[in-house]
Amino acid sequence: MNLDFSDDQKQLQEQVRRFLADRCPPSAVRAILEGPEPFDRALYKGLGDLGVLGAAIPEEYGGVGLSHLELCLVAEELGRALAPVPAASSIYLAAEFLLHAGSNAQKRAWLPRLASGEAVGTFAFVEGAGRMSPDKIHAAVKDSRLSGVKSPVPDGDSADVAIVAARSGGGRGEGAISLFLVDLAGPGVARESLETIDPTRSYAKLTFDAAAAEPLGGEGEGWRIAEMVMDRAAILMAFEQLGGADRALEMARDYALERMAFGRQIGSFQAIKHMLADMYVSATLARSNAYYGAWALATGAAELPIAAATARVSATQAFQHCAKNNIQVHGGMGFTWAFDCHLFYRRSNALALALGSLSTWEDLLIERMRGANAAAA
């Protein structure tokens, strides 16, 4: 039994934490929140140089060739620091799509650049409001040309390459969906930045008008591959959420120790203590569930889809819970622009929707448990 990270992995995590403490203080997050840049380019390049973006990418494709366990811990640190970088889009999604479904040429063309941080990739999937289903996808590819509108696309304003889910061929339902690789620098791509609840991770609307699109994976395989990759990304995202939850809890705890009211530290009042204890409970459940996800990710276990949904639901709850109560513990000061509480509140609610909403993942979890139960019977 070993449901823990190795000492080497924890050392890498510590190294990333120190790097981010130095290069990504709250002021760096605010610079993106308040400024024109979609993400912190110097920070992202630094992460690439450090080798952590390519942690799970094989050396032959320009990565470091470690494992997804290391990437989980990198994600946790990115979440803790609220790093304003496109790692989720570029590494958890685009790189994973390339690794699992890309041709050798596609991998060679893009993975080294994604691993170094020189290029940014993304997954253009969603078309408007509501839970995604194959029927919601109207973007279509005909004669290797993509037309349609994808919105919101994470980091769509800065990405160099997108994996796009679109209709092609004559299949029906899930079988109608295929994946395509689109170089966003080519003609026929228009981008429009979107205002969002968390400007430290940008979104854009991408309009394709006969843009050149090359297939990624087999025709009609798009939905299946996308589900698989989004499960994997959900586990990495759970670690990001976990990092954010832990940091929000620490901020609240520190403030409760420092702030005096009625002649005592507010952390001596049971109303505050119990609120913080409940935040700790959420964060602890989320951590244990995320470790379960990490195990599934690292071993390719058959129960990965269940582990992914479990980790995702638990981490979403924990980050939202800790971020909202962090504001509550801070009282009025927590609602000022100057305090950092809102950065965590924004991020927690944005990440709760990325990759699909909480209710979507709750539904997936029970659907999958039902399937496993039926298979076992």
**Residue whose entry in the numeric block shows the structure tokens 């939905």:** 223
Closest approach, Cβ 317 to another protein, in A, equals: 7
Q: Is 109 helix (H, G, I), strand (E, B) or coil?
A: helix
Site for another protein in 5-44 (CB under 8 A): 5
Element (H, E) at 80: helix 68-80
For 3-128, list the strands marked E by DSSP: 121-124
Which among 93, 34, 29 has a CA at the least distance from the CA of 244? 29
**Cross-strand pairs, 163:** 123, 181
Closest approach, Cβ 273 to another protein, in A, equals: 4
Residue with smaller CB distance to another protein, 104 or 270: 270
Applying CB under 8 A, which of residues 18, 100, 142, 264 lies at the interface with another protein?
264
Q: Is 147 helix (H, G, I), strand (E, B) or coil?
A: strand
69 lies in the site for another protein, by CB under 8 A: yes
Closest approach, Cβ 352 to another protein, in A, equals: 14
Applying CB under 8 A, which of residues 26, 260, 274, 302 lies at the interface with another protein?
274
Using CB atoms within 10 A of its CB, is residue 33 exposed (0-12), middle (13-18) or buried (19+)? middle
CA–CA gap between residue 155 and residue 191 (Å, rounded): 11
289 lies in the site for another protein, by CB under 8 A: yes
Applying CB under 8 A, which of residues 179, 256, 323, 351 lies at the interface with another protein?
256
CA–CA gap between residue 355 and residue 118 (Å, rounded): 24
Stretch that binds another protein, among 16-24, 52-60, 78-86, 282-290 (CB under 8 A): 282-290
**Cross-strand pairs, 211:** 146
Residues 236-255: x/- map of binding to another protein (CB under 8 A)? -----------------x--
Which among 123, 355, 363, 100 has a CA at the least distance from the CA of 241? 355
Kindly give, in sequence order, each residue whose CB lies less than 8 Å from that of residue 208, ignoring residues fewer than 6 positions away.
Answer: 139, 146, 147, 148, 149, 150, 164, 182, 188, 189
291 lies in the site for another protein, by CB under 8 A: yes
Which among 113, 121, 122, 99 has a CA at the least distance from the CA of 45? 113
375 lies in the site for another protein, by CB under 8 A: no
Reply yes or no: is the peptide bond before residue 199 cis, omega within 30 of 0: no
150 and 72 Cβ atoms separated by less than 8 Å:
no
Applying CB under 8 A, which of residues 11, 133, 144, 268 lies at the interface with another protein?
268
Closest approach, Cβ 141 to another protein, in A, equals: 33
Maximal CA-CA distance, the chain: 74
Residue with smaller CB distance to another protein, 13 or 317: 317
Stretch that binds another protein, among 53-61, 101-109, 203-211, 279-287 (CB under 8 A): 279-287
Stretch that binds another protein, among 83-91, 178-186, 209-217, 312-320 (CB under 8 A): 312-320
302 lies in the site for another protein, by CB under 8 A: no
357 lies in the site for another protein, by CB under 8 A: no
Closest approach, Cβ 357 to another protein, in A, equals: 11
359 lies in the site for another protein, by CB under 8 A: yes
Kindly give, in sequence order, each residue whose CB lies less than 8 Å from that of residue 68, ignoring residues fewer than 6 positions away.
Answer: 56, 232, 235, 236, 294, 297, 298
Residue with smaller CB distance to another protein, 24 or 311: 311
Closest approach, Cβ 347 to another protein, in A, equals: 21
Q: Residues in the site for another protein, rule: CB under 8 A?
A: 1-5, 69, 253, 256-257, 264-265, 267-268, 270, 272-274, 276-278, 280-281, 284-289, 291-292, 294-295, 298-299, 309-310, 313-314, 317, 359, 361-363, 365-367, 369-370, 373
